[in-house]
């Protein structure tokens, strides 16, 4: 079980053969690596499932290999997005092996051992999240990392200090760990070493990321959305060829904006950033890093509050309306995205 979706293994992968599994997308949500939050967002699971399926099928037509096998309809049959007659929250995928890095305590600090990852390893998840940034909307982690000195404008490949809302003519590619207790941004040189990638494979990862970015930007434009940034996960198939895994192009994997307004999980993040719980989360993460403690959540002084009820309904509408308009199919009984955004703006003006 993950924080937002569950996995049912139908056939386990072996060293040289992919398995088969089914993702069940839930209405749960997660922010700041906390895991399951105290309430659920209606319609979110089905919306994520359908957006992801639509994007996977689009990518396949562009020659990008993915682990997607199809959607599971109400009769248990695996069908394409086009053949689906009613919303579903279940997607069938090919499975690869996931090798978690071993942890060691080195002078009070947790160190992750990735020595298992070599250029000969096949049929496995690459232990990285790769990120594209077409712009830096307000709330982007890049601003915080710049402020803390964890990244420089040179690292970003730009020649000036960026401002919130800025968009780039050429996307920035970023990378973080995937299988650690808390995702950690790393340089591309570190990423290559961690994942046992060759130099040509790093170039291939960036090429796939670029294709996915272009596809999602095109799809997002159907709904009048700007594709600000997003993340993908990759795996090696049985021939050590790259394929896109997990899910892509959803409001959880991407940060979209509509006329400058966030249409993504960022809406929930912004709500929680104004709570005392968020301060406790930040403090717990810093303390854990200083002490070399792996489980930072155990150090958090408080639990997250529930979302504002009105905001929760608006976020639910965002997911369903975006799914309708991104895929150009009226699968959910939801208002137009423009109407949902209007309600969100009005709510902000009242507070």
3-state secondary structure 181-209: CCCCECCHHHHHHHHCCCHHHHHHHHHHH
Instruction: Give the residue among 340, 126, 348 at the shortest CA–CA distance from 251.
Output: 340
What's the total number of domains in the chain? 1
pLDDT of 344? 93
**Residue 282 forms part of a structural domain:** no
**Residue 100 forms part of a structural domain:** yes
Contacts with 43 (C-beta within 8 Å, 6 or more apart), sequence order: 27, 316, 319, 320, 332, 334
CATH of the domain at 208: 3.30.470.20
**Residue 297 forms part of a structural domain:** no
**Residue 34 forms part of a structural domain:** yes
**Residue 87 forms part of a structural domain:** yes
| Cα angle 312-318-324, degrees, rounded to a multiple of 5 | 140
**Residue 219 forms part of a structural domain:** yes
pTM listed for this prediction = 0.90
**Residue 37 forms part of a structural domain:** yes
**Residue 292 forms part of a structural domain:** no
Per-residue tens of pLDDT for the chain, all 351 residues: 567 899 999 999 999 999 999 999 999 999 998 989 999 999 999 999 999 999 999 999 999 999 999 999 999 999 999 999 999 999 999 999 999 999 988 877 788 999 999 999 999 999 999 999 998 877 788 898 888 888 888 888 888 888 888 888 899 999 999 998 878 899 899 999 999 999 999 999 999 999 999 999 999 998 999 999 999 999 999 999 999 999 999 999 999 999 989 898 889 999 999 999 999 999 999 998 888 887 899 999 999 999 999 999 999 999 999 999 999 999 999 999 999 999 999 987 765
Q: Which domain holds residue 101?
A: 5-274+308-350
């Amino acid at each position: 079980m993950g924080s937002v979706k569950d996995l049912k293994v139908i056939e386990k992968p072996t060293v040289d053969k992919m398995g088969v599994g089914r993702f069940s997308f839930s209405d749960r949500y997660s922010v700041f690596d906390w895991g399951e939050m105290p309430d659920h967002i209606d319609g979110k699971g089905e919306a994520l499932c359908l957006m992801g399926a639509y994007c996977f099928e689009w990518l396949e037509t562009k020659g990008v290999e993915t682990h997607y096998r199809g959607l599971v309809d109400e009769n248990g049959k695996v069908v394409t997005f086009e053949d689906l007659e009613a919303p579903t929250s279940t997607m069938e995928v090919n499975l690869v092996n996931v090798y978690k890095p071993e942890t060691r305590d080195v002078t009070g600090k947790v160190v992750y051992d990735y020595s298992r990852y070599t250029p000969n390893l096949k049929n496995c998840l690459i232990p990285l999240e790769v990120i594209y940034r077409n712009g830096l909307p307000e709330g982007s982690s890049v601003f915080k990392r710049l402020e803390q000195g964890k990244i420089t404008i040179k690292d970003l490949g730009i020649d000036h200090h960026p401002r919130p809302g800025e968009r780039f003519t050429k996307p920035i590619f970023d990378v973080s760990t995937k299988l650690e207790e808390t995702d950690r941004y790393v340089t591309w040189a570190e990423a290559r070493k961690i994942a046992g990638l060759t130099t040509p494979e790093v170039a291939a990862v960036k090429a796939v990321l670029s294709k996915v970015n272009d596809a999602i930007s095109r799809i997002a434009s159907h709904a009048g959305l700007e594709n600000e940034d997003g993340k993908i996960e990759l795996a090696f198939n049985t021939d050590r060829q790259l394929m896109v895994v997990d899910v892509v192009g959803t409001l959880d994997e991407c940060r979209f904006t509509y006329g400058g307004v966030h249409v993504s999980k960022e809406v929930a993040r912004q709500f929680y950033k104004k709570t005392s719980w968020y301060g406790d989360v930040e403090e717990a993460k810093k303390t854990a890093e200083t002490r070399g403690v792996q489980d930072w959540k155990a150090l958090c002084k408080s639990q997250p509050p529930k979302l504002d009820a009105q905001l929760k309904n608006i976020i639910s509408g965002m997911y369903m309306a975006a799914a309708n308009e991104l895929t150009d199919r009226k699968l959910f009984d939801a208002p137009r995205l423009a109407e949902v955004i209007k309600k969100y703006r009005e709510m902000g003006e009242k507070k």
